[in-house]
Amino acid sequence: MKNKKLLLVGTAFLFVALAVAAALAFGTTQVSAQTIERQGNPNGFGTGTGTGIGTGVTGTTGYRGMGMSGYSGYGYAVTPLTSEESTALQNAILEEYGALNLYQTVIDQYGDVYPFDQIVLAEQQHVNALVRQATKYGVAVPENPGLTAETSFATLQGACQAGVDAEIADAALYDDLLPIVSAHSDLVQVFTALQSASLNYHLPAFELCN
């Protein structure tokens, strides 16, 4: 039964990607981590490359787990971030580093196992999306500190539960960060898209393998 569910998830990658790409292209609706209302399937698969506005950086390529496709770049003046807004952006980067490091640790222990092998790629793209925003605003990009303690799991199911916990914490953090950056629509758009990816795609995938 589980294999059948995984097959259905795999065949729906493209549809999830198109849905998320459309949200980024035409605006997003903030998703609260308190409600955890999920829809769609765990893994999107974006295929677009996007185009920048003016002379800005071109959009990100599609990737598993979020399906971000055609995210526009920038070629316009931006209002500098306040100290609090800069810290919020840096905290978002550190949060995504944490998830990336955790999932890579599972892969190091168990090999390229689903869904970690796909979601770890998405987490790297989450980091990349945030780093682009930091670069645009002249905010110092924090270094990846790695995991604070050596981590291993007795079972893959235990690792999946750690993934569940990590994605819930990730989405909850964006609930706190979004009001801080509310004056910057580009940051709101990116934060909302990443939170949606955690709740709507990554979390269900980890719940399914748990």
Number of domains in the chain: 1
Confidence at residue 78, expressed as pLDDT on a 0 to 100 scale: 76
Confidence at residue 77, expressed as pLDDT on a 0 to 100 scale: 59
- Report CA Rg, the chain: 17
Q: Give how far Cα 104 sits from Cα of 30, 147, 171, 198, Å.
A: 28, 10, 19, 17
Confidence at residue 151, expressed as pLDDT on a 0 to 100 scale: 87
For 210, counting Cβ atoms within 10 Å of its Cβ (0-12 exposed, 13-18 middle, 19+ buried), the class is middle
Residues 6+ apart with CB under 8 A from 10: 43
Confidence at residue 85, expressed as pLDDT on a 0 to 100 scale: 98
Say how many CA atoms lie within 13 Å of 133 toward its Cβ. Answer: 25
Say how many CA atoms lie within 13 Å of 44 toward its Cβ. Answer: 32
Q: Write the CATH number for 54.
A: 1.20.1260.10
Q: How far apart are CA 63 and CA 202, in angstroms?
A: 13
Give 63-110 pLDDT, tens digit per residue.
344 444 333 444 455 799 999 999 999 999 999 999 999 999 999 999
Q: For residue 22, what is the enclosing H or E element? A: helix 13-26
For 189, counting Cβ atoms within 10 Å of its Cβ (0-12 exposed, 13-18 middle, 19+ buried), the class is middle
Determine contact, residues 195/31, Cβ cutoff 8 Å. Answer: yes
Confidence at residue 148, expressed as pLDDT on a 0 to 100 scale: 79
Determine contact, residues 71/128, Cβ cutoff 8 Å. Answer: no
Residues 6+ apart with CB under 8 A from 24: 68, 69, 70, 71, 189, 193
> What would the two tokens of residue 151 be?
């981590």
Please give the full DSSP string across 196-209, using - where no structure is assigned: HHIIIIIHHHHHHH
Q: Domain of 166?
A: 2-209
| pTM exceeding the 0.85 threshold for the entire prediction | no
Which residues of the chain carry a pLDDT beneath 50?
A: 3-75
